[in-house]
């Protein structure tokens, strides 16, 4: 199979790091991008290219795309994996934090995609992989802004897929379930800090304990990385790949059950 030039954001840890290594092992040229360059030394040692990138900074985004095109002459794959979380009740989370979250989870990927698309269209091929979550379809208490950002990313990706199909460009959504990464480490602390002392303290404590207990049950980030590799190397990838612990089960329940029954099933243990 032809070697592809891949840009993977959020490559310093978790799903992004595992994906960069997986694509390298498959023989592709990989640029791993993240704010924490020092955390990407294992990627560099494995043969990957390492670039500093904060997806919310216009100058960073422009420079990364410029460097790859200057060095490789093309970009074949963009994996928009960089993301952030936000926990707490709708009433208590400040809107400034919500805006910052959307800047990372929605507008960051959107800007990178805008910069890469003219080159993919000129090539007549390419793949844009947006790492969403089961949160792109479901919702639970004390995570409204995170869920909203992933819902937005999914709608954006659906439209993007429709627009780019005539140009031979694939758009893929990855929907991880519960994955063992650094991303989940601060969940319980944030829940308690934001909503642990007010009107929502009971549900905040219940969800914090649930997050702590599920940590060991999550799937390895490698599971997600392999799904991304499969999508990248397919000539006709699926629009969505649900992978990891409980991903397919929870999405199936959400799609099948009436809303109020789903609410009771998912939140019954929190009250």
Q: Catalytic residues, which ones?
A: 146
Sheet (strand 5-9) strand order = 49-52, 29-34, 5-9, 77-80, 126-131, 169-176, 240-243
Tell me the C-alpha distance between 169 and 161, whole Å: 8
Which residue has tokens 């009971």?
Answer: 202
Contacts (Cβ under 8 Å, ≥6 apart) of 65: 7, 75, 112, 115, 116
Closest CA to 180 of 223, 124, 116: 223
The token pair at 46 is 């494995």
Tokens representing residue 222 in the block: 């490698």
């Amino acid at each position: 199979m032809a070697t592809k030039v891949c840009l993977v954001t959020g490559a310093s840890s978790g799903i992004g790091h595992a994906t960069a290594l997986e694509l390298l092992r498959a023989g592709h040229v990989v640029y791993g991008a993240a704010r924490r360059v020092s955390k990407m030394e294992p990627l560099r040692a494995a043969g990957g290219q390492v670039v500093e990138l904060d997806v919310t900074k216009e100058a960073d985004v422009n420079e990364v795309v410029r460097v790859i095109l200057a060095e490789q002459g093309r970009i074949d794959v963009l994996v928009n994996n960089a993301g952030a979380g936000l926990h707490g009740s709708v009433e208590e989370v400040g809107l400034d934090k919500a805006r910052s979250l959307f800047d990372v989870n929605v507008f960051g990927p959107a800007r990178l995609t805008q910069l890469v698309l003219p080159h993919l269209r000129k090539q007549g091929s390419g793949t844009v992989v947006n790492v969403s979550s089961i949160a792109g379809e479901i919702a639970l208490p004390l995570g409204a802004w995170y869920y909203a950002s992933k819902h937005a990313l999914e709608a954006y990706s659906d439209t993007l897929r429709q627009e780019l199909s005539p140009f031979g460009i694939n758009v893929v959504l990855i929907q991880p379930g519960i994955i063992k990464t650094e991303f989940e480490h601060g969940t319980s602390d944030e829940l308690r800090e934001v909503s642990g002392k007010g009107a929502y303290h009971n549900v905040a404590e219940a969800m914090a304990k649930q997050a702590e207990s599920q940590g060991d049950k999550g799937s390895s980030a490698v599971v997600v990385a392999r799904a991304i590799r499969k999508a990248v190397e397919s000539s006709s990838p699926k629009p969505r790949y649900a992978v990891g612990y409980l991903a397919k089960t929870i999405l199936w329940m959400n799609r099948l059950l009436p809303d109020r029954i789903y609410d009771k099933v998912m939140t019954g243990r929190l009250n």
